[in-house]
Chain A
Amino acid sequence: KAGVTQTPRYLIKTRGQQVTLSCSPISGHRSVSWYQQTPGQGLQFLFEYFSETQRNKGNFPGRFSGRQFSNSRSEMNVSTLELGDSALYLCASSLHASGQETQYFGPGTRLLVL
């Protein structure tokens, strides 16, 4: 069974640009969660999608958004990039609900904002 895949793996952008990251969950998994990991703040929850609906949202500004498609694949978008958005962005999938059961993480997308 294929694991969680994330594309692209590495990305370099400049301040003010926008970026879209993609996540394909394990087949059959309907919940996808996104996380941001930085040396300063550690690992922080961004949001969770289930059946194309945002179910939970962390404490991030509106520049961070996401969506989920009918095949459970998910994208997250960051608009008007800031230097502080440089981070490893991780997505995780689970069968039904991220917080209630084992999550399976992808390898992450490393974003560098210059």
Chain B
Amino acid sequence: ETGVTQTPRHLVMGMTNKKSLKCEQHLGHNAMYWYKQSAKKPLELMFVYNFKEQTENNSVPSRFSPECPNSSHLFLHLHTLQPEDSALYLCASSFEGDRQFFGPGTRLTVL
């Protein structure tokens, strides 16, 4: 498989659930990103990892917890989310800050 993959593609969860989003890149990149995309809003950068080290946390609430075990895998752990967290969550990767390649996204609905 090539490019950036994300699982699951769709997720429905209650406010008390705990779930995780997974991202994998097969491009040999050294940086990975989580973005949130809501209707009528620009993509919002959430977290950045360079060589597995978190280099940016864009004032994201603690109910979102990222994990980057290696340069190919990125997780976003979710717990006690709110309905306003419903959105498309996109993962991206790049090589040394160059153009970013995006995965297909996870459509999250919080009930």
Q: Do A and B bind each other?
A: no
